[in-house]
Structure 1
Amino acid sequence: MPETPDAAATGPRLVLATRNAGKLRELRELLRGQVPGLDVDTQVIDAETAGAPDVVESGTTFEANSLLKAREVAAATGLVAVADDSGLAVDVLGGAPGIFSARWSGRHGDDGANLSLLLAQLADIPAAQRGASFVCAAALAFPDGTAHATFGELKGSLLAAPRGSGGFGYDPILKPLGSDLSCAEMTSEEKNSISHRAKAFAALLPHLVDALR
Structure 2
Amino acid sequence: MADGEPRLVLATHNQGKLRELRELLRGQIPGLDVDTQVIDAAAAGAPDVPETGLTFAENSLLKARAVAEATGLVAVADDSGLAVDVLGGAPGIFSARWAGKHGDDEANLRLLLAQLADIAPEHRGAAFVCAASMVSPRLEAVEEGRLAGVLLTEPRGSGGFGYDPILQPDGMDRSCAELQPEEKNAISHRGQAFRALLPHLVAALR
- Corresponding residue number in structure 1 for 2:115: 121
Matches of 2:71 and 2:158 in 1, distance apart? 35
Residue 170 in structure 1 maps to residue 167 in structure 2? no
Distance, in Å, in 2 between the alignment partners of 1:31 and 1:111 is: 26
Q: Secondary structure at the match of 2:131?
A: strand
- From 184, 199, 202, the counterpart of 2:195: 202
Which residue of structure 1 aligns with residue 184 of structure 2?
Answer: 191
Contact 1:71 1:143 in 2 (8 A): no
Match of residue 83, structure 1, among 77, 82, 92: 77
User: Which of 5, 13, 21 is equivalent to 1:27?
Assistant: 21
Q: Give 1:127-142 correspondences, 5 Å limit.
A: 127-142=121-136
Contact 1:87 1:134 (8 Å CA) reproduced:
yes
Q: Report the Cα distance in structure 2 between the residues aligned to 1:67 and 1:195, rounded to whole angstroms.
A: 20
> What's the secondary structure of 2:130's corresponding residue?
strand
Q: Distance in 1 between matches of 2:137 and 2:50?
A: 18
> Contact between 1:57 and 1:68, CA under 8 Å: does it hold in 2?
yes
Aligned pair 1:58/2:52, yes or no?
A: yes
- How far 1:142 moved relative to its partner? 1.4
- Distance in 1, matches of 2:72 and 2:201, equals 16
The size of the alignment, in residue pairs, is 206
Residues 89, 132 of structure 1: 8 Å contact kept: yes
Alignment of 1:67-82 (within 5 A): 67-82=61-76
Q: Residue type matched to 1:104 in 2?
A: W
Q: Give the corresponding residue for 2:38.
A: 44
Question: TM-score w.r.t. structure 2 length?
Answer: 0.98
Partners of 2:104 and 2:84 in 1: how far apart? 19
Q: Secondary structure at the match of 2:54?
A: coil
User: Shift of the alpha carbon at 1:9?
Assistant: 2.1
Runs of 4+ displaced beyond 4 Å: none
Quote the Cα distance in structure 1 between the aligned partners of 2:203 and 2:31: 12
The residue that corresponds to 2:172 in the other structure is 179
Whole-angstrom distance in 1 between the partners of 2:171 and 2:140: 35
Q: Distance in 2 between matches of 1:160 and 1:121?
A: 11
Q: Quick one: distance in 2 between partners of 1:178 and 1:70? A: 34
1:25-74 alpha-carbon deviations (Å, 9 max, x no partner): 11111111111111000000000000001100000000000000000000
Paired AA for residue 160 in structure 1: T
Residues in 2 aligned to 1:10 and 1:110: alpha-carbon distance in whole angstroms: 33
Residues in 2 aligned to 1:21 and 1:205: alpha-carbon distance in whole angstroms: 20
SS of the aligned residue for 1:35 comes to coil
**Equivalent residue for 2:3?**
9
How far apart, in 1, do the equivalents of 2:123 and 2:187 lie? 22
Kindly indicate whether the alpha-carbon contact (under 8 Å) linking 1:133 and 1:154 is maintained by their aligned counterparts in 2: yes
What is the RMSD computed on CA atoms of the aligned residues? Answer: 0.8
1:3 matched to which residue of 2?
A: none
- Of 96, 99, 104 in structure 2, the residue corresponding to residue 110 of structure 1 is 104
Unpaired runs of 5+ residues, structure 2, are none
Percentage of identical aligned residues: 74
TM-score by length of 1: 0.95
